[in-house]
Structure 1
Amino acid sequence: MYDANVDVTVKITVFPGNEDIGLPEKMTELASGFDLKAAVDAPVTLQPGERALIPTGFAMAMPANLEAQVRPRSGLAYKKGITTLNSPGTIDADYRGEVGVILINHGSEPFVIERGDRIAQLVFQWVPRVHLKQVDRLEETERGSGGFGHTGV
C-alpha cells in the first residue's frame, strides 16, 4: 500500500554517449516532476503541427505498483505551444526500453529542440492492484449514466 513516508528507488541506466545529459532531476525541492532532457544527436526542428519522438538517453527499472507519467512542461506549453501527445504518457514498471517523449508543436512558429533541453517532466505514481469483477447490476447513484457535460458547460 502507498505510504508517503517511504522512499522508493528507481534504477536508471544511461546509454553510452549520453553521460552529458545527466539524470532526470527536480528543479526545486518540492517539485513533483523530474525534468527530462533531450538526448538528440543534432537539433530537431518541429514545425507548427508537427510531432516527433525525442529520446532521453536512459532506461529505468521501477518497483511493481509504480508507474511513471510523462507530462508536458507548463512553461513550454504556455510560452511556445509545445506539449506532449499521449499525455500523460504511461511508462509501466516492466518497461526497460529508452524513455522517449512525443512532442508536438501547437504553436505558430517552428520550435528547435537542442541536446540537453528540458522537454517534459516525469511524475511517479502508485498503481493499486485492481481486480475486475463482472456483476449483473451496478449500484445506483444520483449521477447515474450522465456524462460529457451532463451538469452544464
Structure 2
Amino acid sequence: MSYQNYKIEAYTDNDRGQILNVWEKSVLATHDFINPTDFEEIKELVQTIDFNHFDVYCLKQNSEVAGFIGVAEQKIEMLFFSPEYIGKGLGRKLTDFAFSELKADKVDVNEQNTNAVKFYEKLGFKTYERTDKDDQGKDYPLLRMKLEKTEN
C-alpha cells in the first residue's frame, strides 16, 4: 500500500465534523457487540469530547479524514478509521507515529472487538489487566494492554 497520498496532520476544530463521522461509521462497522441503546449513549458522550484535550492526529487523503488517533498520557485513547480504509495498513501508520512522536505505549481495547485485539497484539501489545465493564460501567469488558519493549 502506498502511503504517499496520506498525510498525518494535527487535529484542528475544522476536523471535528469529519472525525465524529469517522468515529460513528467505524464503530458501526467494527463494534457489532454494542447494543443500539448503548451506542446512542456513547455517541452522545463522544459528541461532547473536546478533542483539543488530547494529542489528536488525523490521517488525511487530500482534505478527507480517513482515520484519526488520540493519545493522552502515553495511552492511545482512540483509533478509528472509516470502514473503507480499515485493513489497508493505515492503522499501523498512525500507531507508528504515536509510538515515535507521542511515546504511546498503552491502550484499552474492548475484549469483544477481536480484530482490534489482534491488531494491537501484532504490534507487540500484551494484556496486563482485564475489566468486567468499560469505563462507563457498561458490560463491555476491556483489555488494558501495554507495549512490550524489546531489549537491544
Normalised by the length of structure 2, the TM-score is: 0.27
Per the normalisation by structure 1, the TM-score is: 0.27
Structure of higher RCO (CA pairs closer than 8 Å, 6+ residues apart): 1
Q: In terms of Rg, which structure is larger? A: 1
